[in-house]
Amino acid sequence: MYNRPVDKLNEKIAKGEPVIGAHVYLADSSVTEMLGIMGNEFLWIDWEHSALDKSQIQSHLIAAKAAGIAAFVRIPWNDHVLAKPVLEMGPDGIVFPMIKTAEEARNAVAACTYPPKGARGFGPRRAVRYGMMPGGEYFEQVDSSFWKIMQIEHVEAVINLDEILKVEGVDTIVVGPNDLSGSIGLLGQLRHPEVMKLFDEIAEKCNKAGKPFGTSIGWNKQNVEDWKRRGASWIACGSDTGYIFEAGLGTLNGVKEIFGVK
């Protein structure tokens, strides 16, 4: 079996070590290469909230492989039609957004799993290294070759989380803080007591079930410290667009200050 980035992530989590990555929204795959060189351990390639197309997603996956890091793809919705082409590209994880029930989690897992256990159609391309990996070998390792990630971002999902965590094939869950806060009428108020209570409840349930969990957030020291305290195994923090904007704005304002320009 060839080296799989996801194995390194699993090993780190088993040792209790954090797995840290970033989000990708821009089209140029050089972004992925740079983020890998920086030291990120995985990248979250976002198809839900970006203008990326499928060919650009595959380019990012190829760049991540070249950089030696894992790459997850968040698809726009929990739909077999959307999952199928991404799976054939060979990602290291696929994120299913807005999972609210165990039945929705089972549907997501089925999209990733070949019959008789699932409903995935057969047609891998990059996932079998364009034919270099024999079909039998691929079948033997496919279920462990990438993470099936359920995104918890609605209060209904928190209510149903114990059952979601019992679904066979769910590898990990990830918290979507903003949409979760919005589902109780507190959009973006991530430090509101009621929102913090939901975060703590998710962590408690995952820790009790022995299921690793992560979160997807922007950079904020206190928020990251809170997720560490809760026991998060992995965190997607910051993004290509955020890094460019923040660093660019800081440089621009610094130069303006020197020249006395408002």
Could you confirm whether 60 is annotated as catalytic? no
Round to whole Å and give the CA distance between 213 and 19.
11
Catalytic residue among 49, 80, 154, 192: 49
Q: State residue 152 phi and psi, 5-degree precision.
A: -100, 110
At 68, list the tokens: 């030696």
Q: State residue 149 phi and psi, 5-degree precision.
A: -110, 120
Are 158 and 202 in contact by the 8 Å Cβ rule? The answer is yes
Residue 146's closest CA among 73, 215, 84? 73
**Encoded amino acid at 251, one letter:** T
User: Which residue bears the tokens 């704005």?
Assistant: 249
**Measured distance between the N- and C-terminal CA atoms of the chain, rounded to whole angstroms:** 59
| DSSP assigned state of 122 | P
∠65-235-18 over CA atoms, to 5°?
85
- Determine the 3-state secondary structure of 103 from DSSP: helix
**Encoded amino acid at 32, one letter:** T
- Determine the 3-state secondary structure of 160 from DSSP: coil
Catalytic residue set: 49
